[in-house]
Amino acid sequence: MTTPDSSLQDIAQRQYEEGFVTDIEMEIVPKGLSEDVVRLISSKKNEPEWLTEWRLKAYRHWLTMTEPTWPKVRYNKIDYQDISYYAAPKSDADKPKTLDEVDPELLKTYEKLGIPLGEQKVLAGVVAVDAVFDSVSVATTYKEKLSELGIVFCSFSEAVANHPDLIKKYLGTVVPYTDNFFATLNCAVFSDGSFVYIPKGVRCPMELSTYFRINAAETGQFERTLIVADEGSYVSYLEGCTAPKRDENQLHAAVVELVALKDAQIKYSTVQNWYPGDENGKGGIFNFVTKRGICKEDRAKISWTQVETGSAITWKYPSCILKGDDSVGEFYSVAVTSNWQQADTGTKMIHLGKNTKSTIISKGISAMQGQNAYRGLVKIAKGATGSRNYSQCDSLLMGDKCGAHTFPYIESSNVSSTVEHEATTSKISEDQLFYARQRGLSEEDAVNTIVNGFCKEVFRELPMEFAVEAQKLLSVTLEGAVG
Amino acid sequence: MLKITNLHAKVEGNQILNGIDLELEAGQVHALMGPNGSGKSTLAQVIAGRERFEVTEGDITLDGASILELAPEERACKGLFLGFQYPVEIPGVTNSYFLKAALNAQRKNRGEQELDAMEFLALLKEKAALMDMDPKFLNRSVNEGFSGGERKKNEILQMCILEPRLAILDETDSGLDIDALKVVANGVNTMRGEDRAILVVTHYQRLLEYIVPDKVHVLANGRIARTGDKSLAITLEEKGYGWIEEEAGSQA
Amino acid sequence: MTATLSPTDWIAPWRAADDLPGRGLPWLDAMREAATSRFQDLGTPRRRWEAWRYTDVAPIVKTTFEPARGGTPARGEVEAALARLPGNGRFHRLVFVDGVLVEPLSVFHELPEGLRVLSFSDALTQIPELLEQHLGKMALYEDNPFTALTAAFARDGVVVHVPKGVVVDRPIEAIWLTTVGAQAIANHARNLLVAEESSEVTLLDVFHAAHNGTYLNNITTEIVAGPNASVTHIRIQEEGRSAFHVADTKIRQERDSRVCSYVITTGGRSSRNELGFALSEPGASCVLNGLFVLNGNQVADNMTLVDHQSPHCTSSEFYKGVMDGQSEGAFTGRVLVREDAQKTDAEQNNRNLLLSDDAQVNTRPQLEIYADDVKCAHGATSGQLDRSAMFYLRTRGIDEIRARQILTRAFASEIIGGIPVQEVRNHLLPVVEDRLCPGHTLEKTP
């Protein structure tokens, strides 16, 4: 007979399904970081002078910074000279224009990932995809259809080349190059990423999507995403991530900046499934990501939804700066830590404008030796009259070696504002499993039912395609849990 | 239908059941009483297959076949229902979803046609009305935010839907006001029938005024100390459990 | 009335009194003596005591009080007051005037067999053994000077004994009417309710002033809920605007028992409500709901404790405050989950509405959890009326005062609507509205 604890041990046996390595020719910059490496990356991307200078400013600033120690995560010191800061498929030298030109190995990789990159799939579906493979954007689909509406959806490098004004205007305005250790590092060495611009009054007719994959060994991934939604526009953006199994830890330090202008709305969803390391805690991605959006003008809305099941360590706080009056920020998160995974994640809601509203729903699931911390700041500035926040943080523990921690910070300098915080911690208990099984459900169905119930408020925020994927991911994680 | 012979069980090294013998025929309702800590709830959970109890000796058979090696869900599919003393919350899972999943898992196992959403809903509404339950409860998460009385009613509702052949109701009357007790008793009484056996585990004699048992067993120190008819319950009401515990103690 | 009296001088009129009931009962004499001496050791509470931080105790201890010794009010005025109170006609009713039971005003319908409903002084002669068994066992006076005063000087109160299996279908209502004139009086009273196995009972304490004088009601209430018993306790505090009110209510719950407490505070210049639950056996559940509606210079402090001592117990707490004028409200909610209390389900919520810029609220949720398999949730909010809702109502032609009133009533009615006695709900809604917007009471909702 199994007990939930012993069957949870079996999670360790589950396979990381995305853990294959793609054997294609890569161009990798030698390990180490210096001004020369920064210049080299910039020149490889044919960047204008101002951008090279911006990178260098960031690099010099980075040298003065120290790695943060306040997150509730533990890891061995990272040797920043032992990482390669740029890896690209060699074919990048002559970048593919259409999918036909893409290295077939690469396409197979995406197929394995189940990413609908094939033209038919894209046409049949409603998803436009930009795929970033080891930092370099390899293909963006559905581009023409979008450009008819004036929507720009391309790799960051292309945007630098084709839309330099937009990049210059918004790059670093939400996450300045001085922001924090990992963001600053990203500013210096970022290799590629996605750029989206939705013009005034346009409602983007399909979900835009980027899939990130770290493939090469001993490389770090430093992509950047910038989304600008002009007045009255709407966009829903999806991001997915995977990486091969490797014994060493790999660093992923990305930056995402969102800018929503008057009456614009951005919905940003992430399903993060980087390699979490093996059952002994060996290997796995260090996911140190800075994501921030600004509701720059009145009645703008930014909504973050994330399902974090991968990575050895996750450190990210998708945040909203609510500057415009009546603007709205939302954060919905499911974070799962199993085996030796650690997560310190949450959000910051900075209320500056009047009558701004924010909602935070965080669901943490900890199993095995997993450690899960919610860290959230709600700040109501003096001028943010009539603002409201509602936060709800629920933690679910599976077994007794894992941990859940909640660190809410509430700073209110305005009496007319309302801040609500609710928190619960509960255990997926032998009682619950026995109760469901006594009614006739198998143990596996019982666990799935309980966990999906726990995450329901977040899953319903995800676009349909992603919700299915997220549920599948969770159920894969839990398959082992029922032996 | 249910036959328990010389059942011994322990949990975390503590011996709780010390040789239970009990037989329950189809069509009968038995009451199992006893002071706190006598092993009533343990017995109920052992019959349903709770894994943290270890059966060290004896057997439990259902229709002549031992069920000791069966998982809880396999026992449920054989028609065994346990009404929990402390019904468990499952946040985010609606009552109706849960019940439909359970009912169809059992039907599938028995080779019966699974109910579709419409058929199930009709069945659910009918039974909820019987239990005097507001239909809005059906769309709330299983037992979450339910009062003690609502949880107990919900247990009986589940029993009415799952239509078990053997129902064990573990202190379903505890924590109920008199009005709720009457509703619960009514639900149980409508389930009485020739093909069904019911074992009512209770701490309070009051319940037996509303569910009249064919037999009353009194558990003390992990054994059946006394078996009698309804009058035994009345004797207990007057004299308390002390004399039975003393008797059981002197035998041990 | 100006300089603060020493504790000894403050209680001198009681120490001199030779007419307290129960003289000659050795256990009672011993308790009165020990409590008197404890009060002198403790002294009157100070704001710097953590437990008294938000109680406006200074004006109480600066007032020289005479003992309340009962009164014989003019008939008309008492009846007018009684007619306004909830249980007129249907409830079992005990009327205390200036701290002492007035039998002719009290009403007893046919009581179920074995049920005893008595005044404290009658109970001391008729069922002293019940009092000896329970009095002072739940509400300890060692750390609470005001509870020491009721232990030392109790003159009257309500004593209810519900035997096993008895269901009391009409609520029992104790009305505390104060009719003082010029002299400030203080009433130190003790209530005791013992509900035996599987019994059911509802007790109301209603505090009401016939005049707007200065007085203190200091009431200690102890409740024992036996196995599977069900008890509802409703406190309605509508003291006069110059009155002080201090309450200490302590409840012990045995196996499978249910206790629901409703505490509604609209009156008093300065008041304090202390409420403590000990869930001492498995399967017990309790509800603590409260509402305080304050204006002018009122100060009200609510101190609650739920002590989860046993597994499988449930507590649900919901307190709401509405503060207008320069009033000051406080809520302290401590939930203690002891190591043995696995499978605890504890929920606490405090929501406050500030109707003016000068009003103030202090809220202190305190969760202390020593068991690992529990479900605990808490929430706290403080804020003003929802501006967009206000605007919405006004665009529909409702003027500002009325819009404010409608929204505030909606806020308050969440607590009032949960009180399981129709007459009490009907009584409270207009009272609360009158406190919100004097003279602007809305018509009753259907």
Tens of pLDDT, residues C397-422: 888 888 888 888 889 999 999 999 99
3-state class percentages of chain C: helix first, strand second, coil last, to nearest 5: 25, 35, 40
User: What pLDDT was estimated at residue A26?
Assistant: 57
User: What pLDDT was estimated at residue C381?
Assistant: 79
**Residue C401 lies in domain:** 386-446
Q: Are residues C110 and C256 in the same domain?
A: yes
Q: Are residues C186 and C52 in the same domain?
A: yes
Q: Are A346 and A378 in contact (CB under 8 A)?
A: no
User: What pLDDT was estimated at residue C362?
Assistant: 83
What single DSSP character describes residue C167? B
Contacts of A445 in chain B (CB under 8 A): 101, 105
User: What pLDDT was estimated at residue A117?
Assistant: 46
- Indicate the residue among C238, C259, C281 that finishes a domain: C281
Does a structural domain hold residue C377?
A: no
Tell me the C-alpha distance between B152 and B173, whole Å. Answer: 8
Does a structural domain hold residue C291?
A: no
In chain B, where do the E strands start and end?
Answer: 2-11, 14-24, 29-33, 54-62, 65-66, 80-83, 90-94, 141-142, 166-170, 197-201, 215-220, 223-228
pLDDT above 90 (res C262): yes
Tell me the C-alpha distance between C406 and C442, whole Å. Answer: 8
Does a structural domain hold residue C104?
A: yes
The CA-based diameter of chain A, rounded to the nearest angstrom, is: 69
Q: For residue B73, give the nearest of A1, A426, A441 by CB distance.
A: A441
Q: What token pair was written down for B31?
A: 């009451």
pLDDT above 90 (res C80): no
CB contact under 8 A, A418 and C372: no
Q: Are C200 and C168 in contact (CB under 8 A)?
A: yes
**Residue B181 lies in domain:** 2-251
Average pLDDT, chain C: 90
Q: Are residues C262 and C394 in the same domain?
A: no
3-state class percentages of chain A: helix first, strand second, coil last, to nearest 5: 30, 35, 35
By C-alpha distance, the chain B residue nearest A443 is: B73
Q: Are B248 and B223 in contact (CB under 8 A)?
A: yes
Q: Are C299 and C319 in contact (CB under 8 A)?
A: no
Sign of the torsion formed by the C-alpha atoms of A27, A33, A37 and A38: positive
Q: Are A275 and A283 in contact (CB under 8 A)?
A: yes
Q: Are C134 and C192 in contact (CB under 8 A)?
A: yes
Tell me the C-alpha distance between A44 and B160, whole Å. Answer: 72
- Which of A38-42, B92-96, C285-289, C386-390 is the most confident on average? C285-289
Backbone angles phi, psi at A319, to 5 degrees: -125, 165
Say which residue, A368 or C295, is predicted with more confidence.
C295
User: What pLDDT was estimated at residue B42?
Assistant: 94
CB contact under 8 A, C384 and A429: no
Over residues A126-137, mean pLDDT: 50
Q: For residue C165, give the nearest of B85, B203, B206 by CB distance.
A: B206
| Nearest CA distance, C207 vs chain A (angstrom) | 33
By C-alpha distance, the chain B residue nearest A396 is: B91
Domain count, chain C: 2
Q: Are C210 and C178 in contact (CB under 8 A)?
A: yes
- Indicate the residue among C281, C309, C344 that finishes a domain: C281
CA atoms within 13 A on the CB side of A121: 12
Average pLDDT, chain A: 77
Neighbouring C-beta atoms of residue A123, cutoff 10 Å: 12
Tokens 């869900």 locate to B73
pLDDT above 50 (res A237): yes
User: What pLDDT was estimated at residue A129?
Assistant: 53
pLDDT above 70 (res A124): no
CB contact under 8 A, C375 and B89: yes
What is the tens place of the pLDDT at every residue in A195-210?
999 999 999 988 787 7
Q: Are A196 and A208 in contact (CB under 8 A)?
A: yes
The interface residues of chain B toward chain C in range 24-53, judged by CB-CB distance below 8 A, are: 36
User: What pLDDT was estimated at residue C230?
Assistant: 97
CA geometry: angle B246, B249, B250, nearest 5 deg: 90
Tell me the C-alpha distance between A115 and C8, whole Å. Answer: 84
CB contact under 8 A, B71 and A443: yes
Does a structural domain hold residue C429?
A: yes
Tell me the C-alpha distance between B221 and C98, whole Å. Answer: 56
Over residues A153-160, mean pLDDT: 86
DSSP A43-80: HHTT--HHHHHHHHHHHHHHHT------SS---PPP-T
pLDDT above 90 (res A349): yes
pLDDT above 60 (res A25): no
CB contact under 8 A, A420 and C380: yes
Q: Are residues C419 and C277 in the same domain?
A: no
User: What pLDDT was estimated at residue C437?
Assistant: 67
C-alpha closest to that of C59 among C206, C171, C215, C165:
C215
| Nearest CA distance, C399 vs chain A (angstrom) | 21
A386 interfacial to chain C (CB closer than 8 Å): yes
User: What pLDDT was estimated at residue A118?
Assistant: 43
A383 interfacial to chain B (CB closer than 8 Å): no
What single DSSP character describes residue A353? S
User: What pLDDT was estimated at residue B75?
Assistant: 94
Percent of chain C with pLDDT over 90: 62
Q: What token pair was written down for A208?
A: 């835009």
Q: For residue C314, give the nearest of B36, B148, B203 by CB distance.
A: B148
Confidence of residue A6 (pLDDT cuts 50, 70, 90): very low
- Which of A161-170, A171-180, C243-252, C365-374 is the most confident on average? C243-252
CB contact under 8 A, A430 and B51: yes
User: What pLDDT was estimated at residue A213?
Assistant: 61
Over residues A6-21, mean pLDDT: 44
CB contact under 8 A, B177 and C256: no
Percent of chain C with pLDDT over 70: 96
Over residues A85-114, mean pLDDT: 52
- DSSP H helical ranges for C257-341: none
Strand duo B197-201 + C328-337: pairing: unpaired
Domain count, chain B: 1
Q: Are A317 and A288 in contact (CB under 8 A)?
A: no
Over residues C52-78, mean pLDDT: 85
Q: Is A346 left (phi over 0), alpha (psi -120 to 50) or beta?
A: left
CA–CA distances in Å: residue B85 to residues A196, A415, B149, B165, C200: 57, 47, 11, 20, 21
CB contact under 8 A, A440 and B141: no
What single DSSP character describes residue A219? B
C239 interfacial to chain B (CB closer than 8 Å): no
What single DSSP character describes residue A93? G
What is the tens place of the pLDDT at every residue in A210-226?
766 655 555 667 888 99
By C-alpha distance, the chain A residue nearest B84 is: A435
Task: Find residue C92's DSSP bridge partners.
Answer: C172
Tokens 């997150």 locate to A71
Does a structural domain hold residue C319?
A: no
Residues 6+ apart with CB under 8 A from B111: none
Backbone angles phi, psi at A358, to 5 degrees: -140, 150
Tell me the C-alpha distance between C327 and C356, whole Å. Answer: 9
User: What pLDDT was estimated at residue C147?
Assistant: 97
Q: Are B175 and C283 in contact (CB under 8 A)?
A: yes
In B67-196, where do the E strands start and end?
Answer: 80-83, 90-94, 141-142, 166-170
Residue ranges, chain B, pLDDT below 50:
252
pLDDT above 70 (res C205): yes
pLDDT above 60 (res A119): no
- DSSP H helical ranges for C141-278: 145-153
Sheet containing strand B2-11, strands side by side:
B14-24, B2-11, B54-62, B65-66
Tell me the C-alpha distance between C41 and C7, whole Å. Answer: 9
Q: For residue A427, give the nearest of C373, C378, C381 by CB distance.
A: C373
Tell me the C-alpha distance between B191 and B182, whole Å. Answer: 14
Confidence of residue C1 (pLDDT cuts 50, 70, 90): very low
Contacts of A299 in chain C (CB under 8 A): none
Give kind and range of the element (H or E) at residue C232.
strand C230-238
pLDDT above 70 (res A245): no
Tell me the C-alpha distance between B221 and B244, whole Å. Answer: 10
Q: Are A66 and A80 in contact (CB under 8 A)?
A: no
C-alpha closest to that of A394 among C373, C376, C372:
C376
Tell me the C-alpha distance between C390 and C393, whole Å. Answer: 5
Residues 6+ apart with CB under 8 A from B119: none
Q: Are A238 and A210 in contact (CB under 8 A)?
A: yes
Tell me the C-alpha distance between C87 and C97, whole Å. Answer: 17
Confidence of residue A130 (pLDDT cuts 50, 70, 90): low
Tell me the C-alpha distance between B80 and B70, whole Å. Answer: 12
B9 interfacial to chain A (CB closer than 8 Å): no
Confidence of residue A327 (pLDDT cuts 50, 70, 90): very high
- Indicate the Cα dihedral angle C29, C35, C37, C41, nearest 10°: 180
Tell me the C-alpha distance between B65 and B22, whole Å. Answer: 15
Size of interface A-B (CB pairs under 8 A): 85
Q: What token pair was written down for A452?
A: 């999906």
Percent of chain A with pLDDT over 90: 26
C-alpha closest to that of C98 among C211, C17, C222:
C211
Over residues C80-87, mean pLDDT: 83
CB contact under 8 A, A424 and C377: yes
Neighbouring C-beta atoms of residue C434, cutoff 10 Å: 14
Over residues A276-295, mean pLDDT: 82
* CATH number of the domain enclosing B125: 3.40.50.300
Tell me how far the alpha carbon of residue C393 is from its chain's centroid.
35
A437 interfacial to chain B (CB closer than 8 Å): yes
Q: Are residues C152 and C266 in the same domain?
A: yes
Contacts of A428 in chain B (CB under 8 A): none
Q: For residue C379, give the nearest of A386, A400, A421 by CB distance.
A: A421
A34 interfacial to chain B (CB closer than 8 Å): no
C-alpha closest to that of C149 among C13, C18, C241, C265:
C13
Confidence of residue A16 (pLDDT cuts 50, 70, 90): low
pLDDT above 70 (res A418): yes
CB contact under 8 A, C345 and B89: yes
pLDDT above 60 (res C200): yes
